[in-house]
Structure formats: C-alpha cells, structure tokens
Amino acid sequence: MMTPNKRLILEERSKYCPRCGKGPLIEDSMRGELLCSNCGYIIKENEISTRPEWRAFTKEEREEKSRVGMPSSLAIHDRGLATKLGANRRDASGRRLKPSERRRIKRMDMWDRRSQMQVPLHRNLLQALTELDRIADKLNIGDDLVEKAAYIYRKALKKDLVKGRSISSMITASIYATCRESSTPRTLKDVAKASGIKRKDLARSYRLILRELDLKMPVVDSVKYISKISSKSGISEKTARRAISILQKAKDSHISTGKNPQGLTAAALYIACTLEGETATQKAIAAAAGVTEVTIRNRCKSLQRLVS
C-alpha cells in the first residue's frame, strides 16, 4: 500500500520490450513514457500518462472502463469524452450510471478541460483525425497504429509544430513516423501517395517531427521489404530466401548503411534471380520496389562483390 504509484506501474509490466524482446525498459519521467532502452520502442499503454494523475487509478480504472462502453481512444479528437455528464445520468445505452462511475467521468471531464485544448485546437484535431482515418484505410494499417499516429499528432500539436504547416502534411508525417517506429514496411512514397501529399513535403514534416519530438526510430530492416517486392514482381519463394541471405551479408559488411533500403532489397532480389536462374528484369523489380533501375544497378555493384 505504501508503494508509490510510479512503481506500481512499472511492476505491473513485463521487463522486456514487447517488440524487440530485450530491455530493460526505462521510464522517461519528463514525458511520462515507458520505453525500451534497447530499441526505443515506447510502450503504448503509457501514452495516457501525459496526464500523470491518471496513473493513480489504473487498477480500478481498467476494470471500470470495461463497463462503461466506448473505450477512450486517442484517435477520437476529444478522446471519446465529448459527451459531458448528462442531466439524466445515464450512459449511452440508457443504463443508469453508478455513483462511482459518475465521479470518474466527472474527473475525466475535469482533466479534459484542464488540458488546455482550446476550441481551435479541437477543430484542428477533428480535421486531422478524419484525415488520419482516411489515409490509414488506404494504407491498410491497423487500429493500434492509428492510435499511435494520433498520439504523435497530439504531441506535435501541443508543441505548435502544426502552426504554419498544413494539417494534412503533419498528420501524414505522424502516420509515416508510426510506421517507421513499428517497423511496418511503408515507404515515404506509399504514404505520400495515400495522402496526396508530395513526398518531399512529407519527408520534411517527418524530419521535423522526429527532431522536435525527439523520437528514436529503429533502423529499417531491408528484409521486411523482401516479401512485398517479391510478391509484386512474381519472384519465387526460394529466390526470395536467397535474397535475404544476401541482405544479411550486406548488413554484416556495413555496405548497407545509409542506403535506400528499397533499392538495396531490389538489388538483392535481382542478384538472387540471376543466381537462381530465375528471369526477372531490372525494370520489373524496380517498378515493384519503387526505385529506378539505375539505383538497382548501383546497389548491385557493391552487392556483387560480396556474393562472388
């Protein structure tokens, strides 16, 4: 009972990162985040702790939450709390609320007000999150990533990063950042296309977010792109595996750092094709990977030295 709330949180969690499986997890008390010291992954549930007091309630809250209908979602512009405590004291399905639930909602409401979300900001968020849904749908990314993107956007908004820039470009950048963070293979190009933002602008906004929010991204693993590219250009499983081993070698010899991962992957696939006697044109692979043939050739030059 004497345990401070902070420690309570930490003890409830696994000591290992859910993504990379390593750790240890450390707490960034400045931002109230729990993150992996190995890969920088921010453990999602702790996002809520930008409003630290909530953490005190976790245990009971969690049980209560499940009884009170819609979960509070970061991807809803007001976290789903728009409906203030109504006069009739009933929830959405008409049930009477228990006094304890009423108190809780009132408290959440209070924090909502205190969170200095002024009306223009609300409007901004609403617009951004509408856009977020639309783009996320096109990109086929899951709800958890949508939540994460919404979280990043909120942070950007709080830091006034959106001021002077378009909402679309910033929410798009948030989405891209989310993909990178979770190692979901979506390229700048993919995301730009889905949103209608120019690649250049997206890249700029993304870098801004990265810098200002101090986000650390895992190094993108070119192997992740193998299946995407090989299936698009109809390359066999066997050849794809060969390409993976080539990429592995490339990684070990450090020629892959600083190179466009799609280009590298495309080149590895091309070389694998020639080694396996499979016919595939540079053109086809380049198209599938979203890079030019020239890039493939350039990567091939350094990769071929490894293979031979």
Partner DNA sequence: TAAGATAAGAGGGACAT
Partner DNA sequence: ATGTCAGTCTTATCTTA
- Which residues contact DNA (rule: CB under 7 A)? 200, 203-204, 207, 258-260, 263, 280-283, 290-295, 297-300
Q: Min. distance of Cβ 44 from DNA in angstroms?
A: 27
Q: Which two tokens stand for residue 274?
A: 């020639």
Amino acid at site 151:
Y
Q: Min. distance of Cβ 264 from DNA in angstroms?
A: 7
Report the residue number, 64 or 278, with the smaller CB distance to DNA.
Answer: 278
Q: Min. distance of Cβ 268 from DNA in angstroms?
A: 13
Q: Which two tokens stand for residue 84?
A: 């203030």
Q: Min. distance of Cβ 238 from DNA in angstroms?
A: 19
State the alpha helices, DSSP H only, in 66-187. 99-114, 119-139, 143-158, 167-181
Q: Min. distance of Cβ 295 from DNA in angstroms?
A: 3
State the alpha helices, DSSP H only, in 159-254. 167-181, 188-195, 199-212, 223-232, 237-252
Report the residue number, 132 or 202, with the smaller CB distance to DNA.
Answer: 202
Q: Which of 140, 117, 28, 155 is nearest to 173 (CA)?
A: 155
Report the residue number, 72 or 274, with the smaller CB distance to DNA.
Answer: 274
Report the residue number, 174 or 265, with the smaller CB distance to DNA.
Answer: 265
Report the residue number, 240 or 291, with the smaller CB distance to DNA.
Answer: 291
For the chain, helix (H) and strand (E) counts, in that order, are: 13, 2
Q: Min. distance of Cβ 294 from DNA in angstroms?
A: 4
Q: CA separation (Å) from 244 to 165, 177, 191, 232, 299?
A: 40, 25, 25, 16, 15
Report the residue number, 49 or 205, with the smaller CB distance to DNA.
Answer: 205
Residue appearing with tokens 């630290």 = 52
C-alpha dihedral sign at 260, 263, 269, 272: negative
